[in-house]
């Protein structure tokens, strides 16, 4: 006999938080969203909330309209599925809280943020499967993941508490959709996630008996092959290393490094069992512009994949004595020059993120100058603002006695005390002081300035890399730990972490590596939430390290 529960399996949680559809008939959208969120988590080890409003309004439904999971699938295949910041359910629900008067059947159109194309998870045609035979449904749930279902339960279904449901009446209610997250063969029940808030069942979950006759004969919808958007991954990577949406598994590593005075784009083909690092343009050698580009680089760049159609955006130190912003246009396939900006003669790799402020989100950069101070610069990507959209401007100079600044800027979930759709959260930045200690600064986006909130460590010989991981986040509403790697005396790397659900002290986790000059990129990957790191060695070569369940290991040289 087999007992499966995806709420807690393999030592981790996989199911996103319970939602409440309120008085709407959009249960089908909530069940579909729950399926997609669960499979993004299972396939990519990523918490990624999706928007019920985007799905409901995208399919042309109002609050009083009942749809189905198949309609939702067709919409996602064609147009993707956006996050709640792009089109909140609360906004959608407010548009149509009551049925219009007779004769007034006009629907409010879908009105997401202008960068929707770059903040939608995607699937390919045929990603869904429908199964009706109970044994095959249980097998899929065991081997792949949860499944969504539409059924017509009896009217007493709403009174389920902590027991195993069996109908007490034959009177049917309306059609309803659920997510089946597991089953128990020993006690003969299915485990379902509902969208009636946490007061239904136990915390929003219920047990439906095999003998209830509700789930045995109806079709279950399963999903494979999700391709999450860069907006959902933005806290999980920093510096020169990105895990994008390319490749057969939709999770290739993308790396941008300086070779000579040029920038080079490398990727690791993660669908290949050998996982080789390949320089872009190696196969298409005639395409020299994509092989190497921008010959004014003084250092490796900081890279993000933005919500502008998933474009790669780089910021690096230029021999023009400024920072340069360049981007790769996914539509044309060409690298484009954006602008020179920032203070004169910056040092090190900048911290670079796309923040929560505005839609599209603003670009934020922190870079250190030779006088040992940090400069915070912003590029507004939406209007109206005091500064012209598209123009970089300096917001603040802070700190002193800074020896090394690097790719250690994070748009954190900390400070998001209200709904994720409306709160901006905090920026966090860590740099290295002249005495080898690490300085931790914080800024709430709505606040006046940066504040030094702590120091830790010693003997650092370069700048750190900082991310906010999913460790410590029980579900999509949780706040993950900070993970930091920094070079130290003796050519090694220290790994530090800080618990963020109730912020505590920094803790040193490990010391590893040899012959290390500095770290240039860090991310949490889809490989069982492994940490992946790129370090520059003292001989100028780039070394890949990764951390799995048995600790840190050295991977191959990249170049």
Checking if the pLDDT of 239 tops 80, the result is yes
**CB-based contact 359:86 (threshold 8 Å):** yes
pLDDT tens digits for 266-303?
999 888 778 889 998 644 333 444 567 888 999 999 99
Q: Quick check: helix, strand or coil at residue 304? A: strand
Q: For residues 345 and 372, what is the distance between their CA atoms, to the nearest angstrom?
A: 12
Tokens coding 552: 């840190």
Cis peptide before 326, with omega less than 30 degrees from 0? Answer: no
Domain 3-223 shares a fold with domain 234-557: no
Identify which of 11, 2, 66, 3 has the alpha carbon closest to the alpha carbon of residue 528: 11
Whether the per-residue pLDDT at 248 is higher than 70: the answer is: yes
Q: What is the pLDDT of residues 380-425, one digit of tens each?
A: 998 654 445 578 999 999 999 999 999 999 999 998 865 544 468 9
Identify the pLDDT of residue 284. 38
Concatenate the DSSP letters of all residues of 26-63 into one string: THHHHHHHHHHHHHHHHHHS------HHHHHHHTT--T
Assign residue 313 a region (left: φ > 0; alpha: ψ between -120 and 50; beta: otherwise).
beta
Query: How does DSSP assign 476-537, residue by residue?
Result: TTS-PPEEEEEEETTTEEEEEEE-TTTT--EEEEEEE-SSEEEEEEEEE-TTTT-EEEEEEE
Residue 113 in this model has a pLDDT that exceeds 70: yes
Of the two residues 203 and 334, the one the predictor is more confident about is: 203
Residue 94 CB neighbours (<10 A): 12
Average pLDDT over residues 175-194: 97
DSSP-based three-state secondary structure for 189:
strand
Q: Is the pLDDT of residue 158 over 80?
A: yes
Give the tens place of pLDDT for each residue, 335-386. 998 899 999 999 999 999 999 988 899 999 999 999 999 999 999 998 654 4
Contacts with 183 (C-beta within 8 Å, 6 or more apart), sequence order? 2, 3, 4, 138, 141, 189, 190, 191
pLDDT of residue 332: 87
Q: What angle do CA 542, 545, 551 make, to 5 degrees?
A: 160
Tokens of 409: 């800027």
CATH number of 3-223: 3.90.70.10
CATH architecture of 234-557: 6 Propeller (2.120)
Confidence of residue 40 (pLDDT cuts 50, 70, 90): very high
Q: How is residue 301 annotated by DSSP?
A: P
Q: Is this model's pTM higher than 0.75 or not?
A: yes
The two beta strands, 292-293 and 302-305, are unpaired
Mean pLDDT lowest among 285-299, 308-322, 466-480: 285-299
Residue tagged 């065991």 (tokens): 142
What's the confidence (pLDDT) of residue 520? 98
251-255, 330-334, 546-550: least confident range: 330-334
Distance CA 15, CA 39 (A): 9
H or E element in which residue 76 lies: helix 69-79
- pLDDT cut 90: percent of the chain above it: 74
Q: Pick the closest to residue 374 from 309, 447, 300, 430 (CA basis).
A: 430
Q: Where are the domains of the chain?
A: 3-223, 234-557
């Amino acid at each position: 006999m087999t007992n499966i529960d995806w709420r807690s399996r393999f030592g981790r949680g996989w199911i996103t938080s319970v939602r409440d559809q309120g008085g709407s008939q959009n249960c089908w959208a909530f069940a579909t969203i729950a399926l997609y969120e669960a499979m993004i988590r299972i396939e990519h080890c990523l918490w990624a909330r999706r928007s019920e409003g985007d799905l409901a309004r995208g399919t042309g439904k109002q609050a009083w309209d009942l749809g189905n999971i198949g309609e939702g699938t067709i919409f996602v295949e064609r147009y993707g599925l956006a996050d709640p910041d792009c089109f909140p359910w609360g906004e959608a629900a407010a548009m149509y809280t009551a049925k219009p008067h007779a004769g007034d059947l006009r629907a409010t159109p879908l009105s997401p943020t202008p960068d929707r194309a770059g903040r939608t998870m995607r699937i390919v045609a045929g990603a869904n499967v429908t199964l009706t035979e109970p044994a095959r449904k249980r097998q899929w749930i065991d081997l792949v993941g949860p499944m969504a279902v539409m059924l017509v339960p009896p009217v007493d279904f709403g009174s389920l508490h902590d027991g195993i449901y069996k109908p007490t009446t034959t009177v049917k209610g309306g059609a309803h959709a659920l997510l089946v997250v597991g089953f128990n063969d020993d006690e003969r029940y299915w485990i379902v996630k509902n969208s009636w808030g946490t007061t239904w069942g136990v915390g929003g979950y219920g047990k439906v008996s095999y003998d209830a006759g509700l789930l045995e004969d109806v079709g279950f919808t399963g999903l494979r092959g999700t391709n999450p958007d860069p907006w959902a991954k933005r806290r999980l990577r920093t510096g020169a290393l990105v895990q994008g949406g390319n490749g057969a598994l939709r999770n290739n590593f993308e790396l941008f490094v300086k070779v000579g005075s040029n920038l080079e784009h490398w990727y690791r083909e993660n669908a290949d069992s050998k996982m080789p690092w390949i320089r872009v343009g190696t196969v298409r050698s005639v395409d020299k512009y994509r092989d190497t580009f921008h010959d004014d680089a003084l250092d490796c760049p900081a890279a993000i994949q933005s919500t502008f159609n998933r474009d790669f955006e780089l910021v690096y130190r230029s021999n023009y004595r400024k920072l340069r912003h360049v981007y790769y246009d996914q539509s044309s396939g060409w690298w484009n020059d954006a602008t020179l900006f920032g203070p004169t003669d910056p040092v090190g790799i900048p911290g670079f993120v796309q923040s929560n402020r505005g839609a599209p989100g603003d670009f934020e950069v922190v870079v250190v100058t030779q006088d040992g101070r940090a400069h915070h610069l912003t590029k507004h990507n939406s209007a109206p603002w005091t500064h012209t959209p598209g123009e970089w401007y300096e917001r603040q100079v802070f700190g002193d006695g800074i020896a090394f600044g690097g790719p250690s800027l994070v748009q954190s979930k900390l400070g998001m005390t209200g709904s994720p759709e409306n709160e901006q959260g905090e920026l966090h930045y860590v740099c290295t002081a002249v005495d080898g200690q690490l300085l931790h600064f914080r800024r709430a986006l709505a606040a006046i300035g940066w504040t030094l909130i702590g120091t830790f460590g010693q003997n650092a010989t370069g700048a750190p890399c900082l991310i906010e991981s999913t460790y410590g986040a029980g579900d999509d509403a949780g706040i993950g730990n900070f993970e930091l790697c920094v070079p130290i005396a003796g050519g090694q790397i220290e790994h530090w972490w800080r618990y963020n659900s109730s912020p505590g002290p920094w803790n040193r986790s490990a010391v590893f590596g040899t012959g290390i000059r500095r770290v240039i990129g860090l991310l949490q990957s889809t490989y069982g939430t492994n940490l992946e790191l790129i370090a520059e060695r003292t001989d100028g070569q780039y070394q890949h390290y990764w951390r799995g369940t048995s600790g840190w290991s050295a991977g191959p040289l990249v170049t």
